[in-house]
Structure 1
């Protein structure tokens, strides 16, 4: 990294507030949920992919149609066989570069830059359990950021409506039952920015709150719960559409007590989150997820402030965290406290270490998360759909090294971030 992190944050923040440019890339190996194509090109303008293909003459015509001269090498990006994928989409992450998304406007800018630098072009900002007034203030910060920059998709509340027995690294003093008044207070503070909220459905008002949030356009997620199979099914039938980091902070699979996981797996309406860092979920279970929930497994990071940072002491909300060998645990009780994962690394692990197909790995980091909120089609939040490389989709693009799956160049809505 030749630039300082401070300069990167400044440059990315400025780029996202600026106007999109014209993009013409050729000679790439395209990988997205629809498959792999070689000798691929893409032309974009005004933040939208206009043309794609493999024919050289068609590429020249496409360039001219957006005002680019195909003979002018300074206008054309030669991919030279690099991978061209959609920008990664993380629907569950808390921070990076020593900042959390709970740390105010500047904290959001810094933490987002850490993920954007590694190819995560769109992100749902996860907020940790805190006192209700703090969570409301943090929601308002996310709402304001959505007006400033296209990469912020909205907020995810991981709490405060979690089971005490499955609280993980969440502050037990702040956990609540989701009574209607609290739901209304959070929805009012969010002002339309709340995308998902993790709820333990077995709480006294768990199912009614799932219905209440779903009616308001939020996607409730079953997680951090002590629910059994039947209760989880009731949660999904009530309107929950996501399982928060499957396998973690919930009852596991058992042949006589199946728990909530089979309820999510058998329900085609449900997207299952998966943390592929080799620590939260063992590799055979990651591979299993792709087999029993194909096209519905979304890589998420659950990344906290220590992401892309050295080991040491950090904070998760008000709680102290130690990071050793890249693994975050609470100082108080040793509970896992989020991850230090990047989606770039999750995709790399899937392809290079686990043998998951590039198409499936990229889909898990792009289209699956977009589809969970309807962002794979035109919508009020992103405008243009995201998650694929196709005409009409937003120009969220990555050029990646095919040998190492290391992200090089990054565009979000036609804006060059790296």
Structure 2
């Protein structure tokens, strides 16, 4: 695995020092093995104060006199400390459905996801009517304005009817620039990614408009051939750079393998092009590594082929996440969950029910190194949305988003902006 290159430490200015600490944040010291930026640090400590990370490294290197009042948390032996996880593709949880347009339900979903270890997320919409899409954008815009979510992901409506998956085919449409402009405006600057099918008429102009407005194009739900796929992703990468999004910015692929034709040796389709471009580092591919959407051998193969730095682990979670089997909603669609697998009435998979920590654990179970799996759920997605100097790593100056797991990668503790969300008995 090739870890991400060393990144410059954020500049610590007097202005930051005078800002008030987040409500409920404290000063804490955590000790254990640290996994961050593709590296493992044994016998390390993490110091948190004022809602930010103050120190990461060997205990001997920490000058506690400069950080008075640190409360050492009593973590189980063998604990591992991770950055807060980042999910770029999730539709809800704990009964809350982001596409449903209910602010109260969306807040409940966000609270659950934060406590589960996903401290940063994009709230995902699905294909729906114009009015419902605009209402969804406006609802989620409020959560983004409050800092509860990092932005919005729109999965559609400019998708292939042949590969619509759980997207409602009644509302699929060819790229419509006036409608796209309305959606971007309704999101108030918080639309961060949009899934699109590159073979549709007008897709090239749509990708250009997305890039010009700071939205990352994410190819998916497509029936395109390999050439069309490669051309669109290459153009999207060039447009993002021309728009001044920075060297870390690049297009993504929405849940690789799902919502597209399978790889065939005489008809390689989009999968071949996506893998080739990901291996070259020009795109990042999403994987729903929940044990349902992808076989574990497929997950391991992709990590081996393209490297963890070019993979984004996602959940595609829906309202049933964190709840028992039963009947739920995904936007306008009714979904039945049995054995933790969500399906439409015709048997089509309809999102996931795993948390991102579950996905990381199952990725490790597939044979991927723990540091690699964590990288693909933290620093890689942070860079995709331009948040790498705020979240995604355990480095001095970044927001204190921390997840502690035990030897089985089960959750022990979650911290967001220095505030303990799910601390169990981890205190002295």
Q: TM-score, normalising length from structure 2?
A: 0.86
CA–CA separation in structure 2 for the residues paired with 1:91 and 1:126 = 8
**1:250-285 CA distance string (max 9 Å, x none):** 122122221112222222221100001111111111
CA–CA separation in structure 2 for the residues paired with 1:26 and 1:242 = 34
Residue of 76, 91, 96 corresponding to 2:72 = 76
The structural deviation recorded for 1:20 is 5.5
Structure 2 residue aligned with 1:339? 352
Structure 2 residue aligned with 1:371? 383
Residues 1:243 and 2:256 are matched in the alignment: no
Residues 1:145 and 2:143 are matched in the alignment: yes
CA–CA separation in structure 2 for the residues paired with 1:26 and 1:131 = 48
The structural deviation recorded for 1:218 is 0.2
**1:278-335 CA distance string (max 9 Å, x none):** 111111110011011211111100011111111111111121111111111111x221
Structure 1 residue aligned with 2:305? 292
Residues 1:273 and 2:286 are matched in the alignment: yes
CA–CA separation in structure 1 for the residues paired with 2:177 and 2:31 = 55
**1:213-243 CA distance string (max 9 Å, x none):** 1111000100000111111112112316000
Structure 2 residue aligned with 1:316? 330
Residue of 117, 120, 127 corresponding to 1:119 = 117
Residue of 60, 76, 87 corresponding to 1:90 = 87
Structure 2 residue aligned with 1:228? 225
CA–CA separation in structure 1 for the residues paired with 2:367 and 2:165 = 30
Length, aligned pairs only? 383
Structure 2 residue aligned with 1:354? 366
Residue of 251, 254, 263 corresponding to 1:253 = 263
Question: Does the Cα contact within 8 Å between 1:22 and 1:66 map onto a contact in 2?
Answer: no
Question: Does the Cα contact within 8 Å between 1:246 and 1:274 map onto a contact in 2?
Answer: yes
Unaligned regions of 5+ residues in structure 1, if any?
Answer: 1-16, 70-74, 378-384
Aligned CA RMSD, in angstroms, stands at 1.6
CA–CA separation in structure 2 for the residues paired with 1:218 and 1:18 = 29
2:357 partner SS:
helix
Question: Does the Cα contact within 8 Å between 2:38 and 2:374 map onto a contact in 1?
Answer: no
CA–CA separation in structure 2 for the residues paired with 1:168 and 1:34 = 33
Q: TM-score, normalising length from structure 1?
A: 0.88
CA–CA separation in structure 1 for the residues paired with 2:131 and 2:323 = 30
The structural deviation recorded for 1:392 is 2.1
Residue of 398, 401, 405 corresponding to 2:406 = 401
Unaligned regions of 5+ residues in structure 2, if any?
Answer: 1-20, 238-250, 423-428
Question: Does the Cα contact within 8 Å between 2:22 and 2:51 map onto a contact in 1?
Answer: no
Structure 2 residue aligned with 1:72? none
**1:64-114 CA distance string (max 9 Å, x none):** 323325xxxxx2213343110001100000011111112321111111122
The structural deviation recorded for 1:18 is 5.0
